[in-house]
């Protein structure tokens, strides 16, 4: 008694989604008469491909002797079309500095001025130019350490400078020049 072999069960094929069929493109009916009357076309010569020919390099003008520096050569791109190159702009030479000629001070600053009695206690009683008055006042301020330690733009007045500063205890350095000019005549 032979046992019957069981056959493996076949799997059902996977269902595919129905794909919408496209309608065939309509072709125009060809007129048989027109096709029969056409003469065979004459053979055309094969089209020539446009090949860029390299032109011989133009001769460069000799370099000028007056030019001190040479510019580094620019990278050349592959030649496709002949393009006219622009000439570089001429370099401007910088103006020479006048080192031999000294600058002349304005005569108005160099005119001797007479200091008032209050200012004379600091700079002296002789008539001196404004520039010298400013130098002597700054020398006095630095000698007596009158600049404010926190804000160096302010000057603290001592007994000699208080009448020059109009009785103020502290004055900015910009205000100081204005107040000192009031004491010059």
pLDDT in tens, 39-58: 555 565 555 555 555 666 65
pLDDT: which is higher, 29 or 180: 180
Domain segments of the chain as ranges? 109-181
Q: Which residues pair with 80 in a beta bridge?
A: none
Beta strands in 77-169 (DSSP E): 154-156
Does the structural domain 109-181 have CATH classification 3.30.70.1150? Answer: no
Q: Which residues contact 71 (CB under 8 A, 6 or more apart)?
A: 88
pLDDT of residue 40: 58
- pLDDT per position as a tens digit, 119-173: 999 999 999 999 999 999 999 999 999 999 999 999 999 999 999 999 999 999 9
Model pTM above 0.75: no
Mean pLDDT in residue range 53-78: 59
Mean pLDDT in residue range 55-81: 59
Q: How many CB atoms lie within 10 A of CB 155?
A: 21
Question: What is d(CA 170, CA 155) in angstroms, rounded to the nearest whole number?
Answer: 6
pLDDT: which is higher, 68 or 133: 133
């Amino acid at each position: 008694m032979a046992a019957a072999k069981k056959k493996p069960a076949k799997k059902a094929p996977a269902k595919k989604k129905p794909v919408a069929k496209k309608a065939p493109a309509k072709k125009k009916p060809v007129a048989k008469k027109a096709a029969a009357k056409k003469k065979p076309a004459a053979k055309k010569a094969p089209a020539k491909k446009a090949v860029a020919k390299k032109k011989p390099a133009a001769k460069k003008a000799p370099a000028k002797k007056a030019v001190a520096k040479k510019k580094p050569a620019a990278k050349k791109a592959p030649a496709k079309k002949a393009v006219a190159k622009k000439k570089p702009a001429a370099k401007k030479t910088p103006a020479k500095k006048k080192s031999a000629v000294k600058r002349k001070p304005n005569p108005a600053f160099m005119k001797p001025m007479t200091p008032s009695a209050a200012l004379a206690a600091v700079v002296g009683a002789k008539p001196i130019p404004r520039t010298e008055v400013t130098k002597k006042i700054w020398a006095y301020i630095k000698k007596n350490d009158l600049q404010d330690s926190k804000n160096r733009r302010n000057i603290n007045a001592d007994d000699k400078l208080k009448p020059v500063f109009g009785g103020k205890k502290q004055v900015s350095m910009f205000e100081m020049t204005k107040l000192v000019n009031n004491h010059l005549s």
